[in-house]
Amino acid sequence: MNLTTDLRLQGIYIDASLQSLSDFLHQRQAQYSKFYILVDEHTHELCIPLLLSRVRALQSSEIIEMGAGEEYKSLQTATQIWETLIENFADRKTLILNLGGGVVTDLGGLVASLFKRGIDFVHIPTTLLGMIDAAIGGKTAVNVGGAKNMIGTFNPPQGVFISVDFLSTLNRRDLYSGFGELIKYGLIASKDLWQSIEKHELNENMELEWMIEECALIKSSIVSEDFYEKGKRKWLNFGHTAGHALEAFAMHGHIRTLMHGEAVALGMIIELQLSVQLLHFDPQCQQRIQHFILDNFDLYPIENKDFAKLIQWMKMDKKNQDSQVNFVLLSEVGVAHYDQKVEDQQILHALQYYASL
Ligand SMILES: NC(=O)c1ccc[n+]([C@@H]2O[C@H](COP(=O)([O-])OP(=O)(O)OC[C@H]3O[C@@H](n4cnc5c(N)ncnc54)[C@H](O)[C@@H]3O)[C@@H](O)[C@H]2O)c1
């Protein structure tokens, strides 16, 4: 893939000091009447001090706090925020700054997209998953009735400002959830990124800034060619069809829940096996990747009796057509293929393989 897209032209700034955000606010000061910073309870405590100490223009902003976690990514939370904005006479020149992980940026993006038919917003992602994925690409959403991302818009922010310094307070599990997506980017689009990840122990001291930049380039380049996910944007779903099924399975089970990126990492084991079965992906390479994933993520156990349920969840994926499951599969590292229709029998083989690990 040609990664020539200039991140800054796409409004994505990777800069630990957040000087780019100060410059952005300075350049546009006449354009905005007021700044509202949306946080969750954790980013309020852990990220606001760093943000305000680096971006002086934000010191007199209003802060709106929501609950932390996926259960708050709801229309109810959005409505509460709209009510707060209305009580404070927020006008169409208001700028919303979403400071948080994917939950805050997805919800804050939706709130801004619909408030008074749309006001400007920027994202300041504070989780690894947010920096490499959720904050980039202009998808906003809330969950409805337990179903994920059912109501949302495609609407890009005015800017995405990424400072790796926010990651210092992130707990290990949330960091690893981001690593699941990081591995995915290497496998779908960049052999160099994968080889570099493979050489490292996953932790906050690895070359994260470079890797975040690489992922942001990959995602923004794909999104710039296929904003509405009609074609190659689907590549980004590698690991997700099986991963979402494992995530739903874990949510209804009793062993433990799986975070999104953990489920994607395990989902990639199943989808790599399908890639070997259907697209002749090199089995030796598959084994190397699989070992790396299993060295870093705990396997979520499944048994024969669970297979039918898992396939049923895969069929519910909104990317399917008819009753066959559509996967993204790889023919080699860095070469992904979307809309790969797979028969139940072949999925069953891949699940048996995973269960035997
Ligand atoms: N829009 C998209 O394209 C897209 C892509 C991928 C994922 N998503 C969405 O992203 C969400 C998951 O995002 P996430 O993994 O960032 O979860 P999250 O936003 O729930 O954050 C995880 C936890 O980390 C805390 N946190 C955030 N930043 C912190 C920091 N710097 N220090 C300490 N704690 C911090 C949060 O309060 C939360 O408890 C899902 O809702 C998913 O649907 C959206």
Ligand 1 atom closest to Cα of residue 148 = 43
Q: pTM for the full model?
A: 0.94
Write down the mean pLDDT value for the chain: 93
Kindly give the distance from the C-alpha atom of residue 307 to the centroid of ligand 1, in angstroms, as a whole number. Answer: 29
Which CATH entry fits the domain spanning 12-170: 3.40.50.720, 3.30.43.10, 3.20.20.150, 3.40.50.1970?
Answer: 3.40.50.1970
* Predicted pLDDT of residue 322: 64
Q: Using CA atoms, how far apart are residues 52 and 46, in angstroms rounded to an integer?
A: 11
Q: What is the pLDDT of residues 94-128, one digit of tens each?
A: 999 999 999 999 999 999 999 999 999 999 999 99
User: d(Cα 64, Cα 139) in Å, to the nearest integer?
Assistant: 21
- Could you tell me if 34 and 120 are in contact, meaning their C-beta atoms sit under 8 angstroms apart? no
> What's the number of CA atoms in the CB half-sphere (13 Å) around residue 286?
21
Hey, whose CA ends up nearest to atom 9 of ligand 1?
102
Per-residue confidence (pLDDT) for residue 253, from 0 to 100? 76
CA angle, residues 310, 185, 281, in degrees to nearest 5: 65
Of all protein residues, the one whose alpha carbon is nearest to atom 2 of ligand 1 is: 134
Please indicate whether residue 208 or residue 252 has the higher confidence score (pLDDT): 208
Confidence of residue 355 (pLDDT cuts 50, 70, 90): very high
What does the pLDDT read at residue 222?
95
Residues of the chain with CATH 1.20.1090.10: 173-355
* pLDDT (0 to 100) of residue 320: 65
190 contacts 1 by C-beta, under 8 angstroms? yes
pLDDT score of 187 more than 50:
yes
Q: How far is the CA of 170 from the centre of ligand 1 (A)?
A: 10
Residue 109 CA: which ligand 1 atom is closest? 1
For the cut 70, the answer to whether the pLDDT of residue 318 exceeds it is no
- Tokens of residue 91, six digits: 């006008």
Q: How close is the Cα of 59 to the center of ligand 1, in Å? A: 24
Closest CA to 191 of 331, 290, 289, 333: 333
Atom of ligand 1 nearest to the CA of 259: 15
Evaluate if residue 3 carries a pLDDT over 50.
no
Query: Please, where in the chain does CATH 3.40.50.1970 lie?
Result: 12-170
Cα–Cα distance measured from residue 218 to residue 216, given in angstroms and rounded to the nearest whole number = 5
The yes-or-no verdict on residue 1 having pLDDT over 60 is no
- The whole-number average pLDDT for the span 256-266 is 93
Q: Report the range of poorest mean pLDDT among 267-271, 289-293, 310-314, 335-339.
A: 310-314
Ligand 1 pocket, mutate which of 66, 104, 153, 174 (most atoms under 8 A from CB): 174
Q: If you measure from the C-alpha of residue 290 to the centroid of ligand 1, how many angstroms do you get, rounded to a whole number?
A: 25
pLDDT tens across 335-351, in order?
999 999 999 999 999 99
81: left (phi over 0), alpha (psi -120 to 50) or beta: alpha
Q: What distance in angstroms lies between residue 284's CA and the mean position of ligand 1's atoms? A: 34
Ligand 1 centre to CA of 164 (Å) is 15
Q: What are phi and psi of 136, to 5 degrees?
A: -110, 135
> pLDDT band for position 4 (50/70/90)?
very low
pLDDT digits (tens, 9 = 90+) for 136-146: 999 999 998 87
Spell out which residues line ligand 1, taking CB within 6 angstroms.
Answer: 40, 42-43, 46-47, 68-70, 73, 100-104, 106, 126-127, 129-130, 133-134, 137, 139, 148-149, 166, 169-170, 174, 177, 260
CB neighbours (10 Å) of residue 177?
Answer: 25
Spacing, Cα 305 to ligand 1 middle (Å): 32
The pLDDT of residue 2 is above 50 = no
Q: Are 329 and 275 in contact (CB under 8 A)?
A: yes
User: How much is the pLDDT for 276?
Assistant: 98
Phi and psi at residue 152, to the nearest 5°: -170, 180
In this prediction, residue 319 carries a pLDDT of: 65
Asked: is 173-355 a CATH 3.40.50.150 domain? The reply is: no
Give the residue whose CA is nearest to atom 25 of ligand 1: 42
Q: Which string of b and e fits 5-22 if b means at least 16 CB within 10 Å?
A: bebeebbbbbeeebebbb
Q: Which atom of ligand 1 is nearest to the CA of 143?
A: 41
Question: Would you list the DSSP string of 29-73?
Answer: TTT-SEEEEEEEHHHHHHTHHHHHHH-GGGTT-EEEEE-SSGGG-
Query: Separation of 90 CA from ligand 1 center, angstroms?
Result: 26
